[in-house]
Amino acid sequence: MARKFVCSPDYPIAAMADGKVKGFELDGILNFRGIQYARARRFHSAEPVETWEGVKDATSYGPVAPPYGDCAYGSSVPQGEILMSHRYWPQSENCQNLNVWTKTLDKTAKKPVMVWLHGGGFSDGSALEMESYDGAALCEHGDVVVVSVNHRLHLLGYLDLSAFGGQYRNSVNAGITDLVETLKWIRRNITAFGGDPDNVTLFGQSGGGGKVFTLMQTPAAAGLFHKCVIMSGTDNFDRSMDQAPIVREMLKNLNLAEDDAEKLERIPYSVLMRSYCKAARTTGTAINWGPVANDYYIGHPVDVGFTDYAKRVPLIVGTVIAEFGGFRGDVTVLSGESEKRAAIENAFPGHAEEITRLFREAYPQTDLSVLPKLDTWVRPGATAFLDAFVKGGAQAPAYLYQFALVFDINGGTPAWHCSDIPFWFHNCYRVPCANVDGVTDRLETDMSDRIAAFAHTGAPNLKGTLQWPAYTAERKETLVFDRESALRTGRFDSALLEAIEAGRPKTGASFAMPLPVGEEDGSDKIRMI
């Protein structure tokens, strides 16, 4: 059956403070795409977009930031698409644009605004990278205005040039200034889309969650948002490395002197990125892209405490049961009990029996094949984050969840990093493997309705459903979303996670950004200027 589509010369047009934009209507949802919200010189802080006369077209998505992944991994080979359906789009460093989904252009509607910050760390991804990021279904079912944002990434947003001139004092956080300008744009313009500028919820997954807590810790953003949701994204990475040696090597690659650093603003992006890739390989060090604490961003809240404003913001934090354990879908089907026990013994030699017992106590309804893939990194970080929040003088409630669904794929695949996103967005129909017979309709409605309720009221509870109490340091309540969701208390899995940490063979591995790949065909030679 044909869907209802409307796009006429004078409808729909949103009359913003910045200027007018024309989008289109599809099945009752008004779509506005690729609206420019800011402008910026390379390595400098974002500035408000200039106002305009007439009507600008907003029916096409805007360009996305070029990904660092192409530099780090070379030519990508599609994999794991059955788990996470991706889409790609034209790229440009001038990527400060956003998308809006709304039911109405009534400036008095005052609907809650939900601002999606995409994942991919601070180096990759985009506002439309995944099919599940589309905001139409959440807008419709949650009665909210949804906004998704593109912004600068990797060296475009986080290269520290402060050692090469005072004008670059905050170049290491330029990408965050894009997000602050997004929130200022919402403050100026969102009423034109039926939104309430005094009821703005930030939500993001993985790196998007990191962007959420970064804005919580950025004084320039205080008062521009009012609730926060962090999905698998509370990680506390040390990004304090001295970037100056890599920048000097970049300048050397380009035949530039140190006092010529300003010329980095004007060389073609492809040349700039190749100079960085070569410098990283030469020095043997890749920059872990992301914000660095200074007088603009005060630092990770577990390290320095939450800002006074952040303490007053209601918060949801959560993880998924396996995170990176089944990330690519390369799951070996373990059909027999002996196979499962052998896999557990291989993962935890000499400790398998005790760890198995603790797993059965913590997850009595979950198949043993999940145990070797269980997340032991992101969930402890999430609980540490909430402990710091509630013990640090929080004046607002916080809520903790775990998404524990085992999907009907490859004999049973536990929820992986990103797998909860289509459920929150009410977009499971867009992701084939998210459709679990007899489960998905109920679970995605529960989760999507809860996050919308949180945007409306600051509490993720619904009449007639399992109540989700606020997290406390004493009870450590976790709502586990599963085939049969349940409320668990007391860090129900703490003994298990401690036993796994003690029983897992030590590898000495730690997180680090991958070094860029070399190019054997010689195209790695950088054009000198």
CATH number of 5-239+292-304: 3.40.50.1820
Tell me the pLDDT tens digit for each residue of 405-414: 999 887 788 9
Looking only at the bridges linking them, the beta strands covering 5-6 and 24-26 are antiparallel
Tell me the C-alpha distance between 59 and 351, whole Å.
57
Tell me the C-alpha distance between 170 and 227, whole Å.
26
- Residue 288's contacts (CB-CB under 8 Å, 6 or more residues apart) are 237, 238, 239, 241, 511, 512, 513
Tell me the C-alpha distance between 315 and 226, whole Å.
9
Tell me the pLDDT tens digit for each residue of 316-362: 999 999 998 765 544 455 667 788 888 888 889 999 999 999 999 99
Quick one: which of 293, 325, 277 has its CA closest to 514? 277
**Contact in structure between 417 and 127 (CB atoms under 8 Å):** no
Residue type, 109: A
pTM over 0.85? The answer is yes
Q: Give 481's strand partners.
A: 403
The band of 69, judged by pLDDT with boundaries at 50, 70 and 90, is confident
Binning the chain into helix, strand and coil, the percentages to the nearest 5 are 35, 15, 50
Average pLDDT over the chain reads: 91
Tell me the pLDDT tens digit for each residue of 236-280: 888 889 999 999 999 999 999 999 999 999 999 999 999 999 999
Q: Is 22 helix (H, G, I), strand (E, B) or coil?
A: strand
Tell me the C-alpha distance between 401 and 379, whole Å.
9
**What residues does each domain of the chain span?**
5-239+292-304, 244-283, 314-503
Q: Specify the DSSP class assigned to residue 75.
A: S
Tell me the C-alpha distance between 256 and 258, whole Å.
7
Tell me the pLDDT tens digit for each residue of 10-43: 999 999 999 999 999 999 999 999 999 999 999 9
Tell me the C-alpha distance between 344 and 352, whole Å.
6
Q: Give 478's strand partners.
A: 488
The mean per-residue pLDDT over the stretch 387-399 comes to 97
Residue type, 208: G
pLDDT at 158 over 80: yes
Q: Give 35's strand partners.
A: 98
Q: Do 5-239+292-304 and 314-503 agree at the fold level? A: yes
pLDDT, residue 525, reads 45
Tell me the C-alpha distance between 459 and 95, whole Å.
34
Tell me the pLDDT tens digit for each residue of 89-148: 889 999 999 999 999 999 999 999 999 999 999 999 999 999 999 999 999 999 999 999
Residue type, 529: I
- In the block, tokens 């996050």 appear at 451
Tell me the C-alpha distance between 329 and 239, whole Å.
30
pLDDT, residue 356, reads 94
pLDDT, residue 524, reads 43
CA dihedral 518, 520, 522, 525 (to 10 degrees): 10
pLDDT, residue 338, reads 82
pLDDT, residue 511, reads 60
Backbone angles phi, psi at 112, to 5 degrees: -60, 145
- How many C-alpha atoms does 66 have within 13 Å on its Cβ side? 15
Tokens of 134: 């589309």
Q: Specify the DSSP class assigned to residue 498.
A: H
The mean per-residue pLDDT over the stretch 186-210 comes to 98
**Contact in structure between 56 and 16 (CB atoms under 8 Å):** no
Backbone angles phi, psi at 193, to 5 degrees: -110, 15
CATH number of 314-503: 3.40.50.1820
**Contact in structure between 74 and 517 (CB atoms under 8 Å):** yes
Q: How far apart are the first and last CA of the chain?
A: 58
The sheet with strand 55-57 has its strands ordered as 13-15, 20-22, 55-57
